[in-house]
Structure 1
Amino acid sequence: MTGSEREKMGAGAWYRCLDPELDELRARARRAIHQHNILPPDERGGLAPALRALFADVAADVFVEAPFHCSYGLNIRLGDRVYLNAGCTILDSAPVVIGSDTMLGPGVQIYCAEHHKDPALRREGLEIARPVTIGENVWIGGGAIILAGVTIGDGAIVGAGAVVTRDVAPGATVVGNPARVVGGT
Structure 2
Amino acid sequence: MSTGDYFANDPRTNLERMLAGDLYIADDPEIARRQRHAMRLTARYQAAYLEDPAAARPILTELLAFAGEDIDVRPPLYVDYGSNISIGARTFVNYNLTALDVARITIGEDCQIGPNVQLLTPTHPVEPGPRRDKLEAALPSRSATTSGSAAARSSVRA
Q: Could you state the TM-score of these two structures normalised by the residue count of structure 2?
A: 0.87
Structure 1 residues not aligned, in runs of 5+:
153-185
- Describe how 1:25-44 pairs up with structure 2 within 5 A: 25-44=34-53
Structure 2 residues not aligned, in runs of 5+:
1-9
Identity of aligned residues (%): 31
Which letter maps to 1:146? A
The number of equivalent residue pairs is 149
Between Structure 1 and Structure 2, which shows a larger proportion of helix residues? 2
Which letter maps to 1:15? Y
Q: Alignment RMSD, CA only?
A: 1.6
Q: Could you state the TM-score of these two structures normalised by the residue count of structure 1?
A: 0.75
CA offset at residue 48 of structure 1? 4.2
Which letter maps to 1:112? T
Contact (CA 8 Å) 1:16, 1:127: kept in 2 or not? yes
Matched with 1:144 is 150
Contact (CA 8 Å) 1:36, 1:51: kept in 2 or not? yes
- Write the deviation string for residues 134-175 of structure 1: whole angstroms up to 9, x where unpaired: 2xxx421100000012234xxxxxxxxxxxxxxxxxxxxxxx
- Write the deviation string for residues 52-77 of structure 1: whole angstroms up to 9, x where unpaired: 20211111311110111110001000
**RCO higher in 1 or 2 (8 Å CA, sep ≥ 6)?**
2
Matched with 1:120 is 129
CA offset at residue 118 of structure 1? 2.5
Give runs of ≥4 in structure 1 deviating > 4 Å.
Answer: none
